[in-house]
Each structure stands twice: as C-alpha cells, then as structure tokens.
C-alpha cells in the first residue's frame, strides 16, 4: 500500500479537484457545511482512489470494504469524491440539496447506491460500523469497515457505547477516523466540551490510537496500513486537520462549519485553491 511520489501527487491533485467540486456544489445549493467538507478532501481522496476495496460499477458488491460517514453533514466531500471515482456524473453534484435530488443534505443510502448508511443524528456511525465489523467477524469474511467521525461528535454518549463494544470484542477489522479540526457549530471544541486527552480515552477502552496530519496523504495511507496489520484490537486514527483547508480566508474559522460562500466569495476561494494557498507542513509525521 506504500505510495510512490507520483501516486501522492496524483492523489493530492484529485483532492484539489474534489475541493473545487465541493465549493461549486455548496454555492449552487445555497446551504450546507463548508469547513469540514473541505478539510476531509485529502482523506476521502486516499480512501476512494487508493485504500478502499470497492467497485463503482458494482456498489453492492459483497466483498467491498465499508466506509461509514457518521458526521453526515460533511457529505458534500463524499458526494464529490464518489462522482470523481465514477459512481455518478460529476454534473449531478450541482443537484445537492435540491428537491428530488439523490444528493440530500445528509446521506440517504436508499437514494444513492454506494452509500452504506443514512446519517443525520450524530453519534450513530461508530455503532453501525461496530455492528458490521462484528458480523463480518462472525461470518469469517475479510471486509474491513472504516468510519469517519467528527471531533465535536465525540460529545455524544452513543459514541462511547460503541467504543466499549468494539474494544470488548477486539474488532480489529474496524478503523475509525476522527476529523480533529477542533471546531463545532458553536465554537472551538475545547471551549464547548473539552475532548482531550482523546488518545488516552480510546486507549482505556482497548483501542490502538494513531495521530496523523490529515492533509498528508502519504502519512494517512501509512497509518491505515498500520491499522490493517493490527489484529488484537480496533484502531482509531486521529486526523489533525485545518477546517476550511485550502481557502485561507476561512481556515480555522468555526463560523464556516455550517455556512456556504456567496457567488462572489466562491470565485475568490476557487482562485485561492488553484494557487495552492494555505498549505502547511506536516506536524504529525
């Protein structure tokens, strides 16, 4: 699974294309969630174009890996990535949140093949993923389950029930990823409901925990490779990200959690993306 320099470059370019699609989707919809959708583009690029065992032409293929999006409000990043991966035309992305669209504001798996669950209320994804992973263990099959969660979502009690369950049953076929962007709708996570020490909390429930720069695709893929080689416990990857990544005007600003750009703003934001502004060094490699 180790990446060559050429593969990293290709995945980074794809992530930037995904960010452009996200911005165009959101301005067309006039509503949605910007910051988290942008900051997860690198990770979703890595998932769909390198990590996952999947087939866009056979979205219900039994042997596919499962990717669960628990914090469903950042679904624009998943829609954009799925479109670029060939699940549906990229042009359909502009129907986001439109009446009758398959691309609702939160993922609806009955509408769009390739979505594994329906999500809206936070805190459910890890429980759903643990159930799937437990079933695969019982059946002796090799599919892996990946689940993406928000950091603010860790405020939900249901998350910790699932953490205990997965730890108790040593569900080594599940890898959870927390988007540690430090924001939620009302402010910074450590002001609203302090989360640290996240690593220690998960480790206390028999999880193996890794920290990674969520914008370093090579580092993230290496973390997933390590997770896949751990057989005695589930794995959490804490992906440290910048909310609004790629658009310096909105990076680190929690107000953009649930705010979308205007038509004039999106022109400027797209220009910033294309000039490569906002890149930061890898602090967690």
What tokens does 211 get?
């920290």
Mean pLDDT of the chain: 94
Angle at CA 274, nearest 5°, toward 255 and 85?
85
Alpha-carbon gap, residue 225 to 217, rounded angstroms: 12
Candidate CATH numbers 3.30.420.40, 3.30.428.10, 3.40.50.970, 3.40.30.10; the one for domain 5-274:
3.40.50.970
Which whole number is the average pLDDT over 188-194? 96
pLDDT for residue 121: 87
Quickly state the pLDDT bin for 278 (edges 50, 70, 90).
very low
Query: Hey, where are the domains in the chain?
Result: 5-274
- Of the candidate ranges 79-83, 202-206, 266-270, the one whose mean pLDDT is the lowest: 266-270
pTM of the model: 0.94
Residue 160 contacts by C-beta under 8 Å, 6 or more apart in sequence? 205
pLDDT digits (tens, 9 = 90+) for 219-253: 999 999 999 999 999 999 999 999 999 999 999 99
* Residue 277 in this model has a pLDDT that exceeds 50: no
DSSP alpha helix (H) spans, the chain:
5-29, 35-39, 41-46, 75-85, 125-139, 157-168, 189-192, 198-204, 217-228, 263-274
pLDDT higher than threshold 90 for residue 9: yes
Mean pLDDT value of segment 46-72: 97
Task: Evaluate whether 20 touches 56 at the Cβ level (below 8 Å).
Answer: no
| Residue 1 banded pLDDT, cuts 50, 70, 90 | low
Tell me the pairing of strands 208-213 and 145-150. unpaired
């Amino acid at each position: 699974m180790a990446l060559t320099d050429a593969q990293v470059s290709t995945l980074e370019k794809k992530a930037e294309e995904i960010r452009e699609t996200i911005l165009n989707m959101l301005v067309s919809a006039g509503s949605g969630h910007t910051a988290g959708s942008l900051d997860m583009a690198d990770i979703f690029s890595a998932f769909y174009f390198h990590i996952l065992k999947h087939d866009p032409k056979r979205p219900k293929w039994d042997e596919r890996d499962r990717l669960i999006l628990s914090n469903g409000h950042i679904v624009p990043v998943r829609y954009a990535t799925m479109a670029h991966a060939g699940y549906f035309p990229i042009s359909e992305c502009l129907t986001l949140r439109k009446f009758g669209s398959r691309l609702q504001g939160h993922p609806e798996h009955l509408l769009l093949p390739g979505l594994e669950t329906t999500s809206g209320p936070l805190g459910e994804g890890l429980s759903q993923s643990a159930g799937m992973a437990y079933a695969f263990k019982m059946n002796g099959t090799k599919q892996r389950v990946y689940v993406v969660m928000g950091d603010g979502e860790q405020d939900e009690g249901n998350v910790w029930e699932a953490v205990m369950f997965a730890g108790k049953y040593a569900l080594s076929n599940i890898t959870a990823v927390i988007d540690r962007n430090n924001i939620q709708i009302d402010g910074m996570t450590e002001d609203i409901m302090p989360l640290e020490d996240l690593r220690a909390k998960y480790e206390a429930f028999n999880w193996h925990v890794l920290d990674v720069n969520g914008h370093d695709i090579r580092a993230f893929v290496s973390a997933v490779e390590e997770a896949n080689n751990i057989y005695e416990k589930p794995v959490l990857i804490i992906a440290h990200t910048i909310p609004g990544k790629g658009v310096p005007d909105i990076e680190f600003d929690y107000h953009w959690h649930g705010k979308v750009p205007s038509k004039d703003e999106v022109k400027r934001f797209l220009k910033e993306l294309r000039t490569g502004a906002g890149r930061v060094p890898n602090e967690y490699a």
